[in-house]
Amino acid sequence: MSLTGQIGVVTGAGRGLGRDIATALAAEGMSLLLVSRTREQVNELAEDLAGRFGVKAFPSALDVTDPEAIDRVVMHAEQHLGTVDLLVNNAAVIEREQVPFWESDRDDVWRVVETNLRGPLLMTRALLPPMVLRGRGRVVNLASRARAATRTGTYTGYAVSKRAVSLFTESLTEPLRGTGVVVLDVLPGLVRTDLTLSMPTWDDVTAWDDPAATATVVRDVALGRYDDRHGTVLDAPALAAGG
């Protein structure tokens, strides 16, 4: 298996796209730190991946907005797994209600921005230095076109945070060029998960994108197949369709 000996960290691995991404990486032999807040979900996934693929899989019930917890977990990962080769910033949340911004719960909007933006910033800040020092590593940020927000004027925190994460990717692109560290955005399309099922705007959708497209693209990033696309956005459904 071609990722044997490599170490990945996947946030939001407990369910949805994160679970599919972690499974695709483990199937190639990558050992993993599986992060999300619901302990039972990451525990169960770690056991499943270790049993099925013979990889090391460590569950971590971590909140990506907690810097001290991140430091502890990163230290644990480096001690027990080794230097991290791949970070997948996948964990995200969306507003509880689909209402225009001027009717929104300001604490809920901030919860979304904090999780979706501060989370990737903190995780990347913790894991990037050893990658740069070693001259090798890859960071994937899960991006979104936030079509629901631009169409309906709702889910403002989600839209703002996702655009900001893409700007974060952009801001790292030139400084990281030539360091051996690659950063990329991956767009999943519209995938049926707890996140999208909580959004009334998608109630009538029948043709969902395949989560396997996203998992395959992230696996291929880990394999170095997109290193020449450093700093760009990979559209998973388009790539799966041969685009």
Ligand X SMILES: NC(=O)c1ccc[n+]([C@@H]2O[C@H](COP(=O)([O-])OP(=O)(O)OC[C@H]3O[C@@H](n4cnc5c(N)ncnc54)[C@H](OP(=O)(O)O)[C@@H]3O)[C@@H](O)[C@H]2O)c1
Q: Which residues here bind ligand X, judged by CB under 6 A? A: 11-12, 14-18, 35-38, 41, 62-65, 90-93, 115, 119, 142, 144, 188, 190-191, 193-196
Q: Per the structure block, which two tokens stand in for 198?
A: 């909580």
How many whole angstroms separate alpha carbon 20 and alpha carbon 188?
A: 12
Q: Which is nearer to ligand X, 62 or 74 (CB)?
A: 62
Active site includes 158? Answer: yes
The phi, psi pair for 87, rounded to 5°, reads -115, 125
| Identified catalytic residue from 58, 158, 168, 226 | 158
Q: Which is nearer to ligand X, 20 or 85 (CB)?
A: 20
CB of 120 to ligand X, least distance (A): 9
The phi, psi pair for 60, rounded to 5°, reads -140, 115
How many whole angstroms separate alpha carbon 62 and alpha carbon 147?
A: 29
CB of 84 to ligand X, least distance (A): 17
Cβ atoms 124, 135 nearer than 8 A: no
Q: Which is nearer to ligand X, 174 or 194 (CB)?
A: 194
The phi, psi pair for 82, rounded to 5°, reads 125, -170
Closest residue to ligand X, judged by C-beta, is 16
CB of 180 to ligand X, least distance (A): 26
Please give the order of strands across the beta sheet that includes 233-235: 57-61, 31-36, 7-11, 86-89, 137-142, 181-187, 233-235
CB of 214 to ligand X, least distance (A): 7
Q: Which is nearer to ligand X, 5 or 48 (CB)?
A: 48
Catalytic residue ranges: 158
